[in-house]
Amino acid sequence: MHLRAEAILLSVRAHGEHGAIVRALTENDGVQPGYVRGGRSRALRPVLQPANLIQGEWRARTEEQLAGLTVELLHSRAPMFGEPLPAAALAWVTALTAATLPEGLPYPRLHAALGGVLDAIEAAPAARGWAVALVRYELLLLAELGFGLDLERCAATGASEDLAYVSPKSGIAVSRAGALGYENRLLALPDFLTAGGAADWEDILAGLRLTGHFLARDLLIGRGADLMAARARLVDRLLRAVA
């Protein structure tokens, strides 16, 4: 096994006294794990930072063996980890991707979307510029892994107009007319997820509540307590930022 590719670094775990096991997302070969010799050294710690863009070279004698990985830094986002809100967003979106994507399967749309979210966080640390992209990424991740929401027409009436809610059970949109009397049992569907465009903070937070419900239920059940706690911290920081 020999692979050389650009990749978005997703996670780093210490292994042994000096090494590290890294998971990184490539465009054509999906998530690739690898062992980096000396990965905990002073020279490599700034390189092996989740959200960094690397040039990786994976080598293994067999497909079953954990590949040895050598890395070259192409673009560092490490400075963003000095800002609490961007740091929380970078940590969440990379950890979510590492925890949910299977190894070795290509997800080019997710690769492109993740790169877009990371670029947006880097370009606009104030959150208004990247929070919409984060919600859209979470929605795309659900869809790519087989848990996509149906936001095209109302589950109750079949209409495609005035969609304002989502059933927390079925993941299907509900119109205002179809939701009459049941609004409190449904999740709000913000306009930017169906009509596009910009969003105010109320809509952004509604979008995060929507995707958070289905991430916890469908992707992170039984293994995502720590991840959802990290997401809760991110949402709490967003709430404080807009208060």
Per the structure, how many domains does the chain have? 2
Q: Are strands 68-75 and 53-59 parallel, antiparallel or unpaired?
A: antiparallel
105 in the same domain as 1: no
138 in the same domain as 201: yes
Residue 134 inside a domain? The answer is yes
Of 50, 76, 102, the residue at which a domain comes to its end is 76
Rounded to whole angstroms, what are the CA distances from 19 to 68, 69, 76?
11, 11, 20
226 CA to centre of own chain: 15
Range of the domain at 236: 80-151+189-243
40 in the same domain as 22: yes
Taking CA 203 as the corner, what is the angle to CA 202 and CA 209, rounded to the nearest 5 degrees?
95
Per-residue pLDDT of the chain (243 residues; tens, 9 = 90+): 899 999 999 999 998 888 999 999 999 999 999 999 988 888 898 999 999 999 999 999 887 789 999 999 999 999 999 888 999 999 999 999 999 999 999 999 999 999 999 999 999 767 877 999 999 999 999 999 999 999 999 999 998 999 999 999 999 999 999 999 999 999 999 999 998 877 889 999 999 999 999 999 999 887 667 888 888 889 998 888 876
Residue 234 inside a domain? The answer is yes
| Cα–Cα distance for residue pair 66/187, rounded to 1 Å | 42
Cut 0.85: pTM above it: yes
